[in-house]
Amino acid sequence: MIVLGIESSCDETAAAVYTTEGGLRSNVVASQKIHTRFGGVVPELASRAHQQTIWGTVSQALAEAGLQAEDVDVVAVTQGPGLMGALLVGLCFAKGFVLANGKRLVGVNHMDAHMYANFIDNPPVYPFLCLTVSGGHTQLTYVKEPFAHTLLGKTRDDAAGEAFDKIGKILGLPYPAGPVMDKHAQRGNPGFHKFPQGLLGEGFDFSFSGLKTSVLYYLQKQGDETAQAAFLKDHLQDVCASVSHAITEVLMKKLEAAMQETGCRTLMLAGGVSANTMLREKARQLAQRSGATLLIPKMAYCTDNAAMIAVTGHMLAQRGNFSDLSMKPFARVNG
């Protein structure tokens, strides 16, 4: 089976080819730089950029795989969650491709795909606990078997990635701030300041809006704008490390509690924030001291990509879970 994966949920236009025998054959991502000047993704601009690049991206993915359109068996496309206009571009393109070439269609849940990105390079293993951490979502999921998911906890407000970006903006860092904070944090002292760790001991849900407010107030206590700038000049790395520590401690403590409750000893990270250096190291330490197996996707499969869509679509197609041309996108996780 040859699966063409298409991803357009936010600001990455991506296409990939995954095959039953050869695994991942190509993985192409066209990133949108236009949003940087606005400090965040502008939905209308994202949709237009997808329209401009999707054909070229798909063509490149097929070319790198050494295939033609007629060689594809199944087109897997992100159905949601995501920006509605962006999703529509990918979905309409996929439907057109399927209709023109007589292929099968599979709609893929973007959050499921982040989890199953762990199976691009690793054989499937069940059950597993997955901590999915991205700009828009933070959730903890127990997966007993393929597509049998139990959502243990999710964010009540800001997701972890969103918190990184918003706090980074407060600190004067460029968008997207998460990777920039990660670099600073690697050279800082995580014990420099104790920021709040939300909802510890209160189940598996997450909350990071209080942390964002705490950082804002902490910075304001340093004085006027001139004094704040001077403070950050001397202590930016330490503040970034302290913020990263507060976020990753919550994530790891929730994951460890879920592991103890379920008895599951296979742990996974997924989503864009799973590229965070401190989070990866703490997850490795947790797995080592608890005797658990830890899977983390390669960096290229952490952020939005089509390889994860293709492999998840392949799994769905193998189970006969096809979609028809009436399939509609959904903007939120609950559809």
Annotated binding residue at 276? yes
Annotated binding residue at 136? yes
Annotated binding residue at 133? yes
State CA 41 to chain mean position distance.
15
CA 272/CA 257 separation, integer angstroms:
23
Annotated binding residue at 114? yes
Annotated binding residue at 135? yes
CA 229/CA 233 separation, integer angstroms:
6
Annotated binding residue at 182? yes
Task: List strands edge to edge, sheet with 74-80.
Answer: 23-31, 12-19, 2-7, 74-80, 104-109
**Whole-Å CA distances, 200 to 28, 214, 251, 252, 279:** 39, 16, 10, 11, 17
Annotated binding residue at 134? yes
Annotated binding residue at 71? no
At 47, phi and psi to the nearest 5?
A: -60, -45
Which one, of 111, 48, 84, lies nearest residue 329 by Cα? Answer: 84
Length of the chain: 335
CA 137/CA 131 separation, integer angstroms:
10
Annotated binding residue at 210? no
Binding-site sequence positions: 110, 114, 132-136, 165, 178, 182, 276, 304
Binding-site sequence positions for Fe cation: 110, 114, 304
Binding-site sequence positions for substrate: 132-136, 165, 178, 182, 276
